[in-house]
Amino acid sequence: MLAKVIRYEYPLEWPDAVSSIVSNLRQASQPDGNPLRLTRALLVLLEVIKELSTARIQRTRTSLQAASLEVLQVLGKIYLDKVQAWMTFFHQGGSDEGGAINSVEQSLLALRVLRRLLIAGWDTPNRSNEVKEFWNILSIHLKDMLSMALQESSSLHENVRRLVEKHLRQIAKLHVNLAKTHPSGFALLPSSVELVSTYWSIAHQFGETYGSRSFTASGLGIGQSSDDIDQSIPITEYLSLRGLLLLRACVKMVFNPAQTFKYQQAQDKEEKAQSRQIIKESILTEGFAQAAMQTLVSRFFVFTQRDLRDWVDQPEEWERREEGEDDTWEFSIRPCAEKLFIELVLNYKEQLVQPLLSVFRNVA
């Protein structure tokens, strides 16, 4: 309720709404602060940022962007402190297990806010030194948390592992959403090329056993929210799916950039051209396009046990998804791979005709 009130009264009627919440966060995050107060302050800020980031009134969005730097500085520090606290505990041990669990939950809340803030708070995130610094930190955390979540020999308790996986899901969401919303900014942020390579490596490895896996997730898109669907997908499949979506966003960035009626400065045009060049020369080479096409066709164009079960249990819903009548393809590997395949074939016709025929002959 508070968040909805702020949406309509910020900034004219309630100009210090965001700064007041940030002030409470500062106080609650002190070493002698109450953990419950910090958690509640993070929940309040999460709902407020959700509301403000979806506001259509330009005044509200402009005011949010004006406050974004302060929020990032305070919230970023909370996130870093909490991640460092629980990572140190799980790597080195300690006696305060309850405090470590609180830190995991609080860093996840902070990350959920930051994911939305980085999208809505800047039109050109690549020009902010603070955003670039935090982006680098998240790249490091992605690798560290991947090793923690995917190691079979890890001693993490199952509940803790799920919380670590939720961190990975939030980071992956941020990467894909920023690539879609601010494509030039994504390409010009540090380590973005390496990020795409990391996700593609996960997807490539996942594809080796994709057709033979037994999936536990229920049918997708039937009475479920996007968050529910995300949480029902195993983490390796989820990250592989984000990799396909991220690669598709890169293809569209180069070959089908979004048109805008907004006036563009010379710097905007220069950054747009530079970002397309970086993605095309560093990621979307002809050799990569051929390798990606072969991987998509040979490993992801197969019906899994879940596909067959959905076909039997929900034939009409299955047919609707197969025809691409909604956006549920974004939550399933094979339909997403088909979309990416089409994008590659349309934009690399001459380079992919013969390799594609060879692949079809091999798998026929």
Which uninterrupted H or E stretch holds 339?
helix 333-347
- Burial of 40: CB neighbours in 10 Å, binned 0-12, 13-18, 19+: middle
Say which residue the tokens 């002959």 belong to.
361
Per-residue pLDDT, averaged over 83-98, amounts to 86
pLDDT of 152 above 50: yes
Question: Please, what is the average pLDDT of the chain?
Answer: 87
Highest-scoring range by mean pLDDT, 59-73, 131-145, 216-230: 131-145
Q: For residue range 265-304, what is the model confidence (pLDDT) as tens digits?
A: 888 889 999 999 999 999 999 999 999 999 999 899 888 7
- Residue of 316 and 204 predicted with greater confidence: 204
pLDDT of 181 above 70: yes
CA angle (14, 20, 23) in 5-degree steps: 165
pLDDT of amino acid 231: 66
Q: Is 94 within 8 Å of 45 (Cβ atoms)? A: no
pLDDT of amino acid 116: 96
- Burial of 340: CB neighbours in 10 Å, binned 0-12, 13-18, 19+: buried
Under DSSP, is residue 48 helix (H, G, I), strand (E, B) or coil? helix
Tell me the two tokens of residue 183: 């494509």
| Residue 221 φ/ψ region, left for φ over 0, alpha for ψ in the -120 to 50 degree band, beta for the rest | left
pLDDT of 311 above 60: yes
pLDDT of amino acid 219: 45
What is the 8-class DSSP label of residue 257?
P
User: Between the CA of residue 344 and those of 111, 237, 249, 293, 355, what are the distances in Å?
Assistant: 33, 22, 12, 7, 13
Q: Is 258 within 8 Å of 183 (Cβ atoms)? A: yes
- Distance in angstroms (rounded) separating the CA atoms of residues 205 and 201: 6
- Distance in angstroms (rounded) separating the CA atoms of residues 176 and 245: 7
Q: For residue range 216-233, what is the model confidence (pLDDT) as tens digits?
A: 444 444 445 556 556 678
Q: What's the whole-model pTM score? A: 0.90
